[in-house]
Amino acid sequence: MIGDEHQNAPTDVSGDVQDTDVQPSDDGGRKARKRTPKKVPSEKPVTRQIRRHTPSERAEKIRRIEDSLAKDGLSLKAAVEAVGISDQTYYQWKRAEKPADVSSTLSASSVPSVSSPSATPPASVGSELAELIKLEEENQRLRRLLGEKLRAENAELRRRLELD
């Protein structure tokens, strides 16, 4: 029908048909992406205050978490949230607490003395360091001896096989 193209054309307030020029696009028939306006943050981002806990507060919170785990049967995540810290903070505090406990038991019982079997456990950090240095020197000496022995065996095998 004639005039069908004007039936769907937009009209202005007076009811007259407006001419709309549709021009072919240069994008090869692709749909144009809709552009969304950039969002401008209306307020500052919320930053968390870092709360420093004293060692006694840390110990108390760790004790409360462990009590919740043992007595109440809570999951670790629930127990940690109840105390008000993250599970990663709990693990960090536990790790920081361990070396003091482990070092006293480790130095007293599980580190054998190479120099003399009747040696007493070290009393201070300085003596632990000295013992560690002695162990390192002993390891180097043993590595040199092993290297010499292996070189001698290698030379003997080469001589027997007539490779040299």
- Which position has the higher pLDDT, 116 or 132? 132
| pTM of this structure | 0.34
**Residue 37 in contact with residue 47, Cβ under 8 Å?**
no
**Residue 12 in contact with residue 18, Cβ under 8 Å?**
yes
Indicate which CATH number applies to the domain containing 96. Answer: 1.10.10
Q: Residue 32 corresponds to which tokens in the numbers above?
A: 């144009």
68 and 96 part of one domain: yes
**138 is a domain residue:** yes
Residue 67 lies in domain: 52-103
- Which position has the higher pLDDT, 73 or 18? 73
> Is the pLDDT assigned to residue 115 strictly greater than 60?
no
Task: For CA atoms 135, 136, 138, 143, give the dihedral sign.
Answer: positive
DSSP H helices in the chain = 4-7, 55-67, 76-83, 87-105, 125-161
